[in-house]
Structure 1
Amino acid sequence: MLAQQRQAEIAELVRVHGVVRVVDLAARFGVSDMTVRRDLEALANKAIVVKVHGGAASTASSPPRDFGERWFRPPASTTHHREKNAIAAAAARLVEPGSAIAIGGGTTAMLLAQHLAGVAGLTVVTNSLPVSDVLHHFGRPDQTVIVTGGTRTPSDALAGPIAVTALQGLHVERTFLGAHGMSAAGGFRTPNLLEAATNRAFVAGARELVVLVDSAKWGRAGLATFAQLEEARIVVSDIGLTVEARAALEDRVARVVLVDPADRVGGAHRTP
Protein backbone atom coordinates (compact mmCIF):
# COMPACT_ATOMS: atom_id res chain seq x y z
CA MET A 1 0.00 0.00 0.00
CA LEU A 2 1.31 3.45 -0.91
CA ALA A 3 1.84 5.96 1.87
CA GLN A 4 -0.91 8.21 0.49
CA GLN A 5 -3.42 5.34 0.51
CA ARG A 6 -2.45 4.34 4.05
CA GLN A 7 -2.73 7.92 5.28
CA ALA A 8 -6.15 8.29 3.68
CA GLU A 9 -7.35 5.17 5.49
CA ILE A 10 -5.85 6.37 8.78
CA ALA A 11 -7.65 9.70 8.37
CA GLU A 12 -10.93 7.84 7.89
CA LEU A 13 -10.31 5.67 10.97
CA VAL A 14 -9.70 8.80 13.03
CA ARG A 15 -12.86 10.38 11.66
CA VAL A 16 -14.94 7.35 12.61
CA HIS A 17 -13.37 6.44 15.97
CA GLY A 18 -12.10 9.80 17.21
CA VAL A 19 -8.79 8.37 18.47
CA VAL A 20 -6.41 5.76 17.02
CA ARG A 21 -3.31 4.12 18.48
CA VAL A 22 0.06 3.67 16.78
CA VAL A 23 0.31 0.01 17.85
CA ASP A 24 -3.12 -0.80 16.39
CA LEU A 25 -2.37 0.95 13.09
CA ALA A 26 0.99 -0.81 12.76
CA ALA A 27 -0.71 -4.19 13.20
CA ARG A 28 -3.54 -3.28 10.81
CA PHE A 29 -1.23 -2.23 7.97
CA GLY A 30 1.66 -4.58 8.69
CA VAL A 31 4.19 -1.76 9.01
CA SER A 32 6.52 -0.51 11.74
CA ASP A 33 5.56 1.91 14.49
CA MET A 34 7.99 4.40 12.94
CA THR A 35 6.17 4.25 9.61
CA VAL A 36 2.87 4.92 11.33
CA ARG A 37 4.37 7.84 13.25
CA ARG A 38 5.59 9.33 9.97
CA ASP A 39 2.07 8.95 8.56
CA LEU A 40 0.58 10.67 11.59
CA GLU A 41 3.17 13.44 11.33
CA ALA A 42 2.20 14.01 7.70
CA LEU A 43 -1.52 14.10 8.58
CA ALA A 44 -0.90 16.42 11.54
CA ASN A 45 1.06 18.81 9.33
CA LYS A 46 -2.03 19.04 7.12
CA ALA A 47 -4.24 19.62 10.20
CA ILE A 48 -6.18 16.42 9.40
CA VAL A 49 -5.42 14.85 12.80
CA VAL A 50 -3.89 15.95 16.10
CA LYS A 51 -1.03 13.87 17.45
CA VAL A 52 -1.50 12.63 20.99
CA HIS A 53 0.48 10.32 23.24
CA GLY A 54 0.62 6.93 21.50
CA GLY A 55 -1.57 7.87 18.53
CA ALA A 56 -3.73 10.57 17.00
CA ALA A 57 -7.09 12.23 17.61
CA SER A 58 -9.68 13.85 15.41
CA THR A 59 -9.70 17.59 14.83
CA ALA A 60 -13.38 17.50 13.88
CA SER A 61 -15.34 16.26 16.86
CA SER A 62 -18.24 17.65 18.82
CA PRO A 63 -16.59 20.53 20.72
CA PRO A 64 -17.68 24.12 20.11
CA ARG A 65 -16.16 25.92 17.14
CA ASP A 66 -13.57 27.76 19.22
CA PHE A 67 -12.68 24.79 21.42
CA GLY A 68 -9.74 23.62 19.33
CA GLU A 69 -8.31 27.11 18.95
CA ARG A 70 -8.61 27.99 22.62
CA TRP A 71 -7.80 24.78 24.44
CA PHE A 72 -6.94 21.69 22.43
CA ARG A 73 -4.48 23.24 20.00
CA PRO A 74 -3.31 26.58 21.40
CA PRO A 75 -1.78 28.94 18.83
CA ALA A 76 1.97 28.80 18.30
CA SER A 77 2.09 32.40 19.52
CA THR A 78 1.29 31.20 23.08
CA THR A 79 4.20 32.26 25.29
CA HIS A 80 6.92 29.57 25.20
CA HIS A 81 4.54 27.21 23.41
CA ARG A 82 7.28 24.97 21.99
CA GLU A 83 8.89 24.56 25.38
CA LYS A 84 5.57 23.84 27.07
CA ASN A 85 4.57 21.26 24.47
CA ALA A 86 7.92 19.48 24.73
CA ILE A 87 7.61 19.48 28.52
CA ALA A 88 4.08 18.05 28.28
CA ALA A 89 5.24 15.32 25.89
CA ALA A 90 8.05 14.30 28.26
CA ALA A 91 5.69 14.32 31.23
CA ALA A 92 3.21 12.09 29.37
CA ARG A 93 5.89 9.40 29.14
CA LEU A 94 5.83 9.20 32.94
CA VAL A 95 2.21 8.01 32.91
CA GLU A 96 1.45 4.29 32.73
CA PRO A 97 -1.80 2.84 31.31
CA GLY A 98 -4.33 2.14 34.04
CA SER A 99 -2.79 4.55 36.52
CA ALA A 100 -4.53 7.22 38.61
CA ILE A 101 -3.06 10.71 38.37
CA ALA A 102 -4.01 14.31 39.09
CA ILE A 103 -3.50 17.30 36.79
CA GLY A 104 -3.73 20.92 37.85
CA GLY A 105 -4.46 24.03 35.82
CA GLY A 106 -2.49 25.99 33.23
CA THR A 107 -1.45 25.81 29.59
CA THR A 108 1.18 23.11 30.05
CA ALA A 109 -1.33 20.96 31.94
CA MET A 110 -3.77 21.27 29.06
CA LEU A 111 -1.04 20.19 26.64
CA LEU A 112 -0.29 17.22 28.90
CA ALA A 113 -3.94 16.18 28.65
CA GLN A 114 -3.64 16.31 24.86
CA HIS A 115 -0.68 13.93 24.98
CA LEU A 116 -2.53 11.59 27.38
CA ALA A 117 -5.70 11.27 25.32
CA GLY A 118 -4.63 7.89 23.95
CA VAL A 119 -3.49 6.28 27.24
CA ALA A 120 -5.67 3.30 28.12
CA GLY A 121 -7.56 2.97 31.39
CA LEU A 122 -6.36 6.27 32.81
CA THR A 123 -8.08 7.89 35.80
CA VAL A 124 -7.50 11.65 35.99
CA VAL A 125 -8.47 13.93 38.87
CA THR A 126 -8.38 17.57 37.77
CA ASN A 127 -9.52 21.04 38.67
CA SER A 128 -8.84 22.31 35.15
CA LEU A 129 -11.74 22.91 32.78
CA PRO A 130 -9.49 22.72 29.68
CA VAL A 131 -7.98 19.41 30.87
CA SER A 132 -11.38 17.88 31.55
CA ASP A 133 -12.75 19.02 28.18
CA VAL A 134 -9.75 17.75 26.22
CA LEU A 135 -10.08 14.30 27.79
CA HIS A 136 -13.88 14.34 27.49
CA HIS A 137 -13.86 15.12 23.77
CA PHE A 138 -10.68 13.34 22.67
CA GLY A 139 -9.78 10.81 25.36
CA ARG A 140 -10.35 7.09 25.17
CA PRO A 141 -13.75 5.78 26.32
CA ASP A 142 -12.05 3.72 29.04
CA GLN A 143 -10.64 6.82 30.71
CA THR A 144 -12.25 8.28 33.84
CA VAL A 145 -12.11 12.01 34.54
CA ILE A 146 -13.00 13.38 37.98
CA VAL A 147 -13.51 17.16 38.20
CA THR A 148 -13.20 18.80 41.61
CA GLY A 149 -15.65 21.68 41.37
CA GLY A 150 -14.90 25.01 42.99
CA THR A 151 -14.51 28.70 42.15
CA ARG A 152 -13.34 29.41 38.61
CA THR A 153 -10.02 31.31 38.39
CA PRO A 154 -8.57 33.36 35.49
CA SER A 155 -6.60 30.28 34.40
CA ASP A 156 -9.85 28.28 33.96
CA ALA A 157 -9.08 26.22 37.06
CA LEU A 158 -11.56 25.39 39.82
CA ALA A 159 -10.13 26.31 43.19
CA GLY A 160 -10.99 27.18 46.75
CA PRO A 161 -12.66 25.33 49.66
CA ILE A 162 -14.95 23.23 47.47
CA ALA A 163 -12.02 21.98 45.39
CA VAL A 164 -9.93 21.31 48.50
CA THR A 165 -12.76 19.33 50.11
CA ALA A 166 -13.19 17.27 46.93
CA LEU A 167 -9.49 16.40 46.94
CA GLN A 168 -9.38 15.31 50.58
CA GLY A 169 -9.40 11.55 50.82
CA LEU A 170 -8.35 11.03 47.19
CA HIS A 171 -4.99 9.37 46.58
CA VAL A 172 -3.19 9.27 43.22
CA GLU A 173 0.17 8.01 42.06
CA ARG A 174 1.38 11.32 40.67
CA THR A 175 0.16 14.90 40.63
CA PHE A 176 1.23 17.07 37.69
CA LEU A 177 1.23 20.79 38.47
CA GLY A 178 2.41 23.88 36.66
CA ALA A 179 3.83 26.95 38.38
CA HIS A 180 3.75 30.69 37.74
CA GLY A 181 7.24 31.02 39.16
CA MET A 182 9.97 29.14 40.99
CA SER A 183 13.14 29.91 42.92
CA ALA A 184 15.46 28.32 45.43
CA ALA A 185 14.12 30.46 48.26
CA GLY A 186 10.45 30.68 47.27
CA GLY A 187 9.82 27.21 45.85
CA PHE A 188 6.98 26.81 43.36
CA ARG A 189 4.60 29.76 43.29
CA THR A 190 1.23 30.94 42.01
CA PRO A 191 -0.27 34.45 42.05
CA ASN A 192 -3.67 33.13 43.14
CA LEU A 193 -4.31 32.30 46.79
CA LEU A 194 -7.20 29.95 46.00
CA GLU A 195 -5.06 28.04 43.53
CA ALA A 196 -2.22 27.83 46.06
CA ALA A 197 -4.47 26.17 48.64
CA THR A 198 -5.90 23.82 46.03
CA ASN A 199 -2.45 22.89 44.73
CA ARG A 200 -1.36 22.07 48.28
CA ALA A 201 -4.32 19.68 48.52
CA PHE A 202 -3.20 18.08 45.25
CA VAL A 203 0.30 17.62 46.67
CA ALA A 204 -1.01 16.09 49.89
CA GLY A 205 -2.98 13.44 48.01
CA ALA A 206 -0.19 12.24 45.71
CA ARG A 207 2.59 9.72 46.16
CA GLU A 208 4.79 11.91 43.93
CA LEU A 209 4.66 15.54 42.80
CA VAL A 210 5.73 16.31 39.23
CA VAL A 211 6.12 20.01 38.41
CA LEU A 212 5.92 21.11 34.77
CA VAL A 213 7.55 24.49 34.35
CA ASP A 214 9.41 26.16 31.49
CA SER A 215 12.76 27.83 32.10
CA ALA A 216 11.33 31.36 31.85
CA LYS A 217 9.59 30.80 35.19
CA TRP A 218 12.85 30.64 37.17
CA GLY A 219 13.10 33.67 39.42
CA ARG A 220 9.57 34.85 38.68
CA ALA A 221 7.65 36.06 41.70
CA GLY A 222 4.29 34.76 42.85
CA LEU A 223 2.02 35.70 45.72
CA ALA A 224 1.90 32.27 47.35
CA THR A 225 4.12 29.19 47.53
CA PHE A 226 2.34 25.85 47.11
CA ALA A 227 5.40 23.60 47.41
CA GLN A 228 9.10 23.89 48.19
CA LEU A 229 11.56 22.61 45.59
CA GLU A 230 12.37 19.48 47.61
CA GLU A 231 8.69 18.49 47.73
CA ALA A 232 8.80 17.73 44.02
CA ARG A 233 9.92 14.24 43.09
CA ILE A 234 10.36 15.24 39.44
CA VAL A 235 10.68 18.61 37.70
CA VAL A 236 10.23 18.72 33.93
CA SER A 237 11.64 21.86 32.36
CA ASP A 238 13.68 22.82 29.28
CA ILE A 239 17.34 23.33 28.43
CA GLY A 240 16.90 27.12 28.64
CA LEU A 241 17.46 26.94 32.40
CA THR A 242 20.52 28.82 33.60
CA VAL A 243 23.44 26.98 35.18
CA GLU A 244 22.41 28.44 38.54
CA ALA A 245 18.82 27.26 38.17
CA ARG A 246 19.88 23.76 37.12
CA ALA A 247 22.22 23.47 40.09
CA ALA A 248 19.52 24.60 42.53
CA LEU A 249 16.98 22.13 41.16
CA GLU A 250 19.39 19.20 40.93
CA ASP A 251 20.50 19.85 44.51
CA ARG A 252 16.97 19.68 45.93
CA VAL A 253 14.85 17.62 43.52
CA ALA A 254 15.24 13.86 43.12
CA ARG A 255 14.98 13.93 39.33
CA VAL A 256 15.20 16.77 36.83
CA VAL A 257 14.15 16.26 33.20
CA LEU A 258 15.25 18.94 30.74
CA VAL A 259 13.75 18.80 27.26
CA ASP A 260 14.99 20.34 24.05
CA PRO A 261 12.00 21.98 22.31
CA ALA A 262 13.81 21.68 18.98
CA ASP A 263 13.66 17.88 19.23
CA ARG A 264 10.51 16.96 17.30
CA VAL A 265 10.20 13.56 18.97
CA GLY A 266 10.39 15.04 22.45
CA GLY A 267 13.82 13.72 23.37
CA ALA A 268 15.03 14.86 26.74
CA HIS A 269 18.28 15.49 28.56
CA ARG A 270 17.89 13.86 31.94
CA THR A 271 19.63 13.87 35.28
CA PRO A 272 18.92 10.82 37.46
Structure 2
Amino acid sequence: MLETPAREEWQVLAPQRQAIILDEVRRTGAVRVANLVTRLGVSDMTIRRDLDALARRGLVDKVYGGATTVGGRSTEEPGFEAKSARQLVEKDVIAAAAAHLVRPGTAIGLSAGTTTHALARHLDDVADLTIVTNSVRVADALQRTGRSDRTVVLTGGVRTPSDALVGPVAVQALRTLHLDVVFLGVHGMAPRAGFTTPNLEESETDRALVAAAGRLAVVADHSKWGVVGISTIADLSEADVLVSDERLPADAVAELSERVGDLVLAPIPAESP
Protein backbone atom coordinates (compact mmCIF):
# COMPACT_ATOMS: atom_id res chain seq x y z
CA MET A 1 0.00 0.00 0.00
CA LEU A 2 1.37 3.38 -0.99
CA GLU A 3 1.84 5.93 1.75
CA THR A 4 -0.23 9.09 1.50
CA PRO A 5 2.09 12.08 1.09
CA ALA A 6 2.32 14.36 4.09
CA ARG A 7 -0.12 17.26 3.88
CA GLU A 8 2.71 19.74 3.53
CA GLU A 9 3.97 17.94 0.41
CA TRP A 10 0.78 18.44 -1.61
CA GLN A 11 -0.63 21.70 -0.25
CA VAL A 12 1.70 23.60 -2.61
CA LEU A 13 3.09 21.60 -5.52
CA ALA A 14 6.86 21.41 -5.93
CA PRO A 15 6.96 23.48 -9.15
CA GLN A 16 4.96 26.23 -7.43
CA ARG A 17 7.24 26.24 -4.39
CA GLN A 18 10.33 26.31 -6.56
CA ALA A 19 8.95 29.20 -8.61
CA ILE A 20 8.32 31.15 -5.40
CA ILE A 21 11.81 30.34 -4.11
CA LEU A 22 13.48 31.31 -7.38
CA ASP A 23 11.58 34.60 -7.50
CA GLU A 24 12.72 35.39 -3.95
CA VAL A 25 16.37 34.55 -4.76
CA ARG A 26 16.28 36.81 -7.80
CA ARG A 27 14.60 39.60 -5.86
CA THR A 28 16.82 39.61 -2.75
CA GLY A 29 19.95 37.73 -3.83
CA ALA A 30 19.64 35.03 -1.17
CA VAL A 31 17.18 32.87 0.76
CA ARG A 32 17.46 30.94 4.01
CA VAL A 33 15.90 27.53 4.60
CA ALA A 34 14.41 28.60 7.94
CA ASN A 35 12.62 31.57 6.41
CA LEU A 36 11.25 29.49 3.53
CA VAL A 37 9.95 26.85 5.96
CA THR A 38 7.93 29.55 7.74
CA ARG A 39 6.72 31.22 4.55
CA LEU A 40 5.70 28.08 2.66
CA GLY A 41 4.56 25.99 5.62
CA VAL A 42 6.61 22.91 4.75
CA SER A 43 9.48 21.04 6.38
CA ASP A 44 13.13 21.98 6.03
CA MET A 45 13.74 18.70 4.17
CA THR A 46 11.13 19.71 1.58
CA ILE A 47 12.80 23.08 1.11
CA ARG A 48 16.23 21.47 0.81
CA ARG A 49 14.91 19.14 -1.93
CA ASP A 50 13.51 22.18 -3.74
CA LEU A 51 16.87 23.94 -3.50
CA ASP A 52 18.63 20.81 -4.77
CA ALA A 53 16.31 20.74 -7.76
CA LEU A 54 16.91 24.43 -8.54
CA ALA A 55 20.67 24.01 -8.14
CA ARG A 56 20.73 21.02 -10.52
CA ARG A 57 19.07 23.22 -13.12
CA GLY A 58 21.72 25.89 -12.58
CA LEU A 59 19.20 28.45 -11.31
CA VAL A 60 20.66 28.98 -7.81
CA ASP A 61 23.87 28.31 -5.91
CA LYS A 62 23.35 26.26 -2.77
CA VAL A 63 25.10 27.54 0.34
CA TYR A 64 25.09 26.51 3.98
CA GLY A 65 21.57 27.18 5.27
CA GLY A 66 20.05 28.37 2.00
CA ALA A 67 20.80 29.48 -1.55
CA THR A 68 22.03 32.51 -3.46
CA THR A 69 21.98 33.82 -7.01
CA VAL A 70 24.29 32.10 -9.47
CA GLY A 71 27.62 33.93 -9.61
CA GLY A 72 30.34 34.30 -12.23
CA ARG A 73 30.14 37.68 -13.98
CA SER A 74 32.98 40.14 -13.39
CA THR A 75 30.53 42.99 -12.76
CA GLU A 76 28.02 41.02 -10.70
CA GLU A 77 27.75 42.49 -7.23
CA PRO A 78 25.66 40.46 -4.77
CA GLY A 79 23.96 42.36 -1.95
CA PHE A 80 25.14 42.14 1.65
CA GLU A 81 22.45 39.61 2.62
CA ALA A 82 23.35 37.35 -0.30
CA LYS A 83 27.03 37.37 0.60
CA SER A 84 26.26 36.90 4.31
CA ALA A 85 24.75 33.48 3.55
CA ARG A 86 27.96 32.18 1.98
CA GLN A 87 30.87 30.42 3.75
CA LEU A 88 29.64 31.29 7.25
CA VAL A 89 32.02 28.95 9.07
CA GLU A 90 35.03 30.02 7.01
CA LYS A 91 34.36 33.71 7.57
CA ASP A 92 34.10 33.22 11.31
CA VAL A 93 37.38 31.33 11.68
CA ILE A 94 39.13 33.82 9.37
CA ALA A 95 37.80 36.71 11.44
CA ALA A 96 38.97 35.09 14.68
CA ALA A 97 42.47 34.56 13.24
CA ALA A 98 42.63 38.10 11.85
CA ALA A 99 41.59 39.59 15.20
CA HIS A 100 44.83 38.24 16.70
CA LEU A 101 46.74 40.55 14.35
CA VAL A 102 45.18 43.66 15.90
CA ARG A 103 47.20 45.33 18.65
CA PRO A 104 45.69 47.54 21.39
CA GLY A 105 46.18 51.26 20.90
CA THR A 106 46.41 51.14 17.09
CA ALA A 107 44.50 52.76 14.25
CA ILE A 108 43.11 50.25 11.78
CA GLY A 109 40.92 50.25 8.67
CA LEU A 110 38.15 47.81 7.84
CA SER A 111 36.81 47.75 4.29
CA ALA A 112 33.19 46.94 3.55
CA GLY A 113 32.27 43.27 3.28
CA THR A 114 30.86 40.31 5.15
CA THR A 115 34.25 38.94 6.26
CA THR A 116 35.32 42.31 7.68
CA HIS A 117 31.88 42.51 9.30
CA ALA A 118 32.64 39.20 11.00
CA LEU A 119 36.05 40.58 12.03
CA ALA A 120 34.38 43.62 13.62
CA ARG A 121 32.47 41.28 15.93
CA HIS A 122 35.74 39.61 17.00
CA LEU A 123 37.39 42.86 18.13
CA ASP A 124 35.43 43.23 21.37
CA ASP A 125 38.42 42.39 23.58
CA VAL A 126 40.96 44.66 21.88
CA ALA A 127 41.41 47.88 23.85
CA ASP A 128 41.89 51.47 22.74
CA LEU A 129 41.25 51.17 19.01
CA THR A 130 40.58 53.78 16.37
CA ILE A 131 38.78 52.10 13.48
CA VAL A 132 38.10 53.66 10.09
CA THR A 133 35.57 52.00 7.80
CA ASN A 134 33.56 52.73 4.68
CA SER A 135 30.77 50.36 5.74
CA VAL A 136 27.66 51.27 7.72
CA ARG A 137 27.22 47.59 8.63
CA VAL A 138 30.75 47.33 10.00
CA ALA A 139 30.39 50.61 11.91
CA ASP A 140 27.14 49.38 13.50
CA ALA A 141 28.80 46.12 14.57
CA LEU A 142 31.68 48.05 16.15
CA GLN A 143 29.42 50.48 18.00
CA ARG A 144 27.35 47.71 19.59
CA THR A 145 30.19 46.79 21.94
CA GLY A 146 29.70 50.06 23.82
CA ARG A 147 33.42 50.39 24.57
CA SER A 148 34.32 53.87 25.77
CA ASP A 149 37.94 53.46 24.60
CA ARG A 150 36.97 53.00 20.95
CA THR A 151 36.68 55.58 18.19
CA VAL A 152 34.83 54.60 15.01
CA VAL A 153 35.23 56.79 11.92
CA LEU A 154 32.77 56.34 9.04
CA THR A 155 34.04 57.79 5.77
CA GLY A 156 30.75 58.78 4.19
CA GLY A 157 30.04 58.35 0.49
CA VAL A 158 27.54 56.74 -1.88
CA ARG A 159 26.19 53.33 -0.85
CA THR A 160 26.68 50.33 -3.17
CA PRO A 161 24.52 47.14 -3.35
CA SER A 162 27.02 45.50 -0.95
CA ASP A 163 26.61 48.38 1.54
CA ALA A 164 30.01 49.93 0.91
CA LEU A 165 30.35 53.71 0.99
CA VAL A 166 32.28 54.79 -2.09
CA GLY A 167 33.03 57.72 -4.36
CA PRO A 168 34.90 61.04 -4.05
CA VAL A 169 33.68 61.82 -0.52
CA ALA A 170 35.02 58.50 0.80
CA VAL A 171 38.26 58.77 -1.17
CA GLN A 172 38.96 62.32 0.01
CA ALA A 173 38.39 61.35 3.65
CA LEU A 174 40.78 58.40 3.36
CA ARG A 175 43.54 60.44 1.71
CA THR A 176 43.95 62.49 4.90
CA LEU A 177 44.39 59.46 7.19
CA HIS A 178 47.33 57.33 8.33
CA LEU A 179 46.51 53.85 9.61
CA ASP A 180 48.66 51.09 11.10
CA VAL A 181 46.95 48.29 9.21
CA VAL A 182 43.99 47.86 6.87
CA PHE A 183 41.92 44.69 6.71
CA LEU A 184 40.57 44.31 3.19
CA GLY A 185 37.73 42.06 2.12
CA VAL A 186 37.66 41.19 -1.58
CA HIS A 187 35.30 39.79 -4.20
CA GLY A 188 37.98 37.62 -5.76
CA MET A 189 41.69 36.83 -5.96
CA ALA A 190 43.63 35.38 -8.86
CA PRO A 191 47.28 35.18 -9.98
CA ARG A 192 47.13 37.78 -12.77
CA ALA A 193 44.22 39.98 -11.64
CA GLY A 194 45.23 40.12 -7.96
CA PHE A 195 42.58 41.19 -5.45
CA THR A 196 39.48 42.41 -7.25
CA THR A 197 35.98 43.87 -6.90
CA PRO A 198 33.00 44.02 -9.32
CA ASN A 199 32.40 47.72 -8.54
CA LEU A 200 34.65 50.35 -10.12
CA GLU A 201 33.94 53.04 -7.52
CA GLU A 202 34.46 50.61 -4.67
CA SER A 203 37.80 49.65 -6.17
CA GLU A 204 38.94 53.29 -6.14
CA THR A 205 37.82 53.69 -2.53
CA ASP A 206 39.51 50.46 -1.47
CA ARG A 207 42.76 51.58 -3.14
CA ALA A 208 42.62 54.81 -1.11
CA LEU A 209 42.08 52.73 2.04
CA VAL A 210 45.07 50.52 1.20
CA ALA A 211 47.23 53.59 0.50
CA ALA A 212 46.41 55.00 3.95
CA ALA A 213 47.85 51.97 5.72
CA GLY A 214 51.31 50.92 6.79
CA ARG A 215 50.35 47.25 6.35
CA LEU A 216 47.75 45.44 4.26
CA ALA A 217 45.95 42.36 5.58
CA VAL A 218 43.52 40.69 3.18
CA VAL A 219 40.76 38.47 4.59
CA ALA A 220 39.29 36.09 2.00
CA ASP A 221 37.88 32.58 2.20
CA HIS A 222 38.84 29.77 -0.18
CA SER A 223 35.87 30.35 -2.51
CA LYS A 224 37.38 33.69 -3.60
CA TRP A 225 40.31 31.96 -5.32
CA GLY A 226 40.02 32.12 -9.10
CA VAL A 227 37.20 34.68 -8.98
CA VAL A 228 37.92 37.86 -10.94
CA GLY A 229 36.00 41.11 -10.57
CA ILE A 230 36.19 43.84 -13.16
CA SER A 231 38.64 46.06 -11.23
CA THR A 232 41.89 45.30 -9.39
CA ILE A 233 42.36 46.74 -5.92
CA ALA A 234 45.88 45.45 -5.31
CA ASP A 235 48.36 42.92 -6.62
CA LEU A 236 48.79 39.72 -4.62
CA SER A 237 52.33 40.83 -3.70
CA GLU A 238 51.00 43.96 -1.99
CA ALA A 239 49.42 41.94 0.83
CA ASP A 240 51.63 41.79 3.91
CA VAL A 241 49.37 39.02 5.19
CA LEU A 242 46.49 37.04 3.73
CA VAL A 243 44.15 35.29 6.15
CA SER A 244 42.15 32.51 4.49
CA ASP A 245 40.93 29.07 5.57
CA GLU A 246 42.38 25.59 5.30
CA ARG A 247 40.00 24.68 2.46
CA LEU A 248 42.06 26.86 0.13
CA PRO A 249 43.09 24.67 -2.87
CA ALA A 250 46.66 23.39 -3.06
CA ASP A 251 47.47 25.41 -6.18
CA ALA A 252 46.28 28.55 -4.44
CA VAL A 253 48.40 27.80 -1.37
CA ALA A 254 51.47 27.34 -3.57
CA GLU A 255 50.87 30.55 -5.53
CA LEU A 256 49.98 32.69 -2.53
CA SER A 257 52.86 31.39 -0.41
CA GLU A 258 55.18 32.79 -3.08
CA ARG A 259 53.36 36.07 -3.61
CA VAL A 260 52.01 37.38 -0.27
CA GLY A 261 54.12 38.32 2.73
CA ASP A 262 52.52 35.81 5.11
CA LEU A 263 49.76 33.27 4.44
CA VAL A 264 47.58 32.29 7.41
CA LEU A 265 45.16 29.39 6.97
CA ALA A 266 42.55 29.25 9.71
CA PRO A 267 41.47 25.70 10.70
CA ILE A 268 37.86 24.62 10.11
CA PRO A 269 36.12 22.82 13.03
CA ALA A 270 35.84 19.09 12.36
CA GLU A 271 32.04 19.06 12.68
CA SER A 272 31.54 21.84 10.13
CA PRO A 273 29.80 21.05 6.80
Provide TM-score, normalisation by structure 2. Answer: 0.67
Q: Select which of 113, 119, 128 maps to 1:112.
A: 119
CA–CA distance in 2 between the matches of 1:110 and 1:139?
17
Output the amino acid matched with 1:92.
Answer: A
Q: Select which of 146, 159, 162 maps to 2:169.
A: 162
Report sequence identity in percent: 52
CA–CA distance in 2 between the matches of 1:129 and 1:263?
34
2:253 corresponds to: 246
Q: Say if 2:147 is the partner of 1:147.
A: no
1:97 corresponds to: 104
CA–CA distance in 2 between the matches of 1:157 and 1:80?
20
- Partner of 1:113, secondary structure, is helix
Displacement of 1:141: 1.4
The verdict on how the C-alpha distance between 1:263 and 1:122 changes in structure 2, with shifts beyond 3 A counting, is farther
CA–CA distance in 1 between the matches of 2:209 and 2:270?
31
CA–CA distance in 2 between the matches of 1:261 and 1:138?
26
Moved more, 77-86 or 217-226: 77-86
1:224 corresponds to: 231
- Partner of 2:153, secondary structure, is strand
Output the amino acid matched with 2:113.
Answer: G
* Aligned structure 1 segments of 4 or more residues deviating by more than 6 angstroms: none
Deviations 1:126-145 (A, max 9, x none): 00111100111224111000
Q: Select which of 187, 197, 201 maps to 1:190.
A: 197
- Partner of 1:209, secondary structure, is strand
- Partner of 1:98, secondary structure, is coil
CA–CA distance in 2 between the matches of 1:85 and 1:116?
12
| RMSD, aligned CA | 1.8
CA–CA distance in 2 between the matches of 1:83 and 1:187?
21
Q: Say if 2:231 is the partner of 1:206.
A: no
The verdict on how the C-alpha distance between 1:178 and 1:214 changes in structure 2, with shifts beyond 3 A counting, is same
Displacement of 1:261: 2.0
Q: Is the 8 A contact 1:119 1:140 kept in 2?
A: no
Greater Rg over alpha carbons, structure: 2
2:240 corresponds to: 233
Q: Say if 2:185 is the partner of 1:178.
A: yes
Provide TM-score, normalisation by structure 1. Answer: 0.68
Deviations 1:40-69 (A, max 9, x none): xxxxxxxxxxxxxxxxxxxxxxxxxxxxxx
Deviations 1:149-191 (A, max 9, x none): 0000111110111100000120111000111000011000000
Q: Say if 2:92 is the partner of 1:85.
A: yes
1:260 corresponds to: 267
Output the amino acid matched with 2:185.
Answer: G
Displacement of 1:263: 6.5
Q: Select which of 127, 138, 143 maps to 1:136.
A: 143
Q: Is the 8 A contact 1:88 1:108 kept in 2?
A: yes
Output the amino acid matched with 2:92.
Answer: N
CA–CA distance in 1 between the matches of 2:88 and 2:201?
26
1:63 corresponds to: none
